Amino acid sequence: MKKKILIVDDEPNIVMSLEYSFKKKDFEVFIARDGSEAIEILKSKTPDVVLLDIMMPNVDGYQTLEYIKSNQDTKNIKVVFLTAKNKEADIQKGIHMGVDKYLVKPFSVKKVIAEVNELIV
């Protein structure tokens, strides 16, 4: 069965790079440009992992993570923050809120794929 990933980011170049790389690794890929789109997708799809930026318009990554972790249908989905927010306080906030991995931009696509695979083994 194909592994599924939801990429949530408002930067088109990042989305394109990740989408291409994960499809190449035989993932089914869903894309959302912000948290509100992600939440809509999560109402009908159940990815194995959500790659989630924090700083986005409308609904940010923290609000999206809160939705995922507080909803019975989505609370077990693995979530990886992929963000430019690299201060220790930001990392601790993400961990406290229940994020499974915290990766900082700029990133290596190879590393992101490795971290995602580690989560869903």
pLDDT band at 4 (very low <50, low <70, confident <90, very high): very high
Instruction: Please write the tens of the pLDDT for every residue from 105-118.
Output: 999 999 999 999 99
Number of helices (H), then strands (E), in the chain: 5, 5
Calculate ∠ Cα 39-46-29, nearest 5°: 85
Confidence of residue 1 (pLDDT cuts 50, 70, 90): confident
pLDDT value at position 121?
A: 79
Query: CB-based contacts of 65: which residues, under 8 Å, 6+ apart?
Result: 52, 79, 81, 94, 97, 98, 99
pLDDT tens track for 54-91: 999 999 999 999 999 999 999 999 999 999 999 999 99
**Interacting residues of 37 by C-beta distance below 8 A, sequence separation 6+:** 8
CB atoms within 10 A of CB 115: 20
What are the sequence ranges of the domains in the chain? 3-119
pTM: 0.96
**CATH architecture under which domain 3-119 falls:** 3-Layer(aba) Sandwich (3.40)
Q: What is the pLDDT of residue 22?
A: 98
